[in-house]
Amino acid sequence: MNTAFQPSGNEVKQAAFSEHRRSGRLNASRTIVMTNLEADGPGTRQQLEARTVLPLASICGRCRELIDLGYIEVVGMSADRPARQVLALTKQGRAAIERAVGGAA
C-alpha cells in the first residue's frame, strides 16, 4: 500500500478540529461547561463529566481553552487522591454567558 498520499496524524487531528469548530459543536461544548459551572458551582473536570453529556476528553480540551480565554479559573485543588484542579467561572465568563443568552433571545 502506498502511504505517500495518506494524511499524517496531525493533519487528521487538525481537519477534525476545524470541522468541529465549523459545525458549531465547539462553542456548544464551551457553553455546556460554562453554564454548568454557573448553575452547579465549582468542580473538577471529572465532576463536570458526571454532570454533563460531554466525554472527559472534550471537557479537558474545552477547559484548557476557557482557562486561556479567562472565562474559567483554577480556584483550588480537590481533597481526594489524586488531587485535581477545581475550576470556577470568572466574571468574564459570566459576562460571556450573558452575551450568549442575550444574543439567543
Q: Which of 16-20, 78-82, 84-88, 99-103 is the least confident region?
A: 16-20
Q: What is the Cα–Cα distance from 80 to 58, expressed in whole angstroms?
A: 22
Q: What is the Cα–Cα distance from 99 to 45, expressed in whole angstroms?
A: 24
Residue 16 lies in a domain: no
Residue 98 lies in a domain: yes
Q: Is the pLDDT of residue 35 over 80?
A: yes
pLDDT tier at 78, thresholds 50, 70, 90: very high
CATH at 78:
1.10.10.10
Give the closest residue to 34 by CA, choosing from 78, 100, 102: 100
Grid coordinates representing 64 are: 484548557
Please give the average per-residue pLDDT across 89-94, as a whole number: 95
Q: Is the pTM of this model over 0.85?
A: no
Residue 73 lies in a domain: yes
Q: What is the Cα–Cα distance from 95 to 104, expressed in whole angstroms?
A: 14
Q: What is the Cα–Cα distance from 37 to 45, expressed in whole angstroms?
A: 11
Residue 10 lies in a domain: no
Give the closest residue to 54 by CA, choosing from 36, 72, 39: 36
Residue 3 lies in a domain: no
Please give the average per-residue pLDDT across 12-35, as a whole number: 73
Pairwise pLDDT comparison (26 vs 10), residue with the higher score: 10
Residue 9 lies in a domain: no
DSSP H helical ranges for the chain: 9-23, 25-40, 45-51, 56-69, 91-104
Residue 94 and residue 38 in contact, taking contact as beta carbons nearer than 8 Å: yes
**For residue 99, what are the domain limits?**
21-104
Residue 49 lies in a domain: yes
Please give the average per-residue pLDDT across 17-26, as a whole number: 60
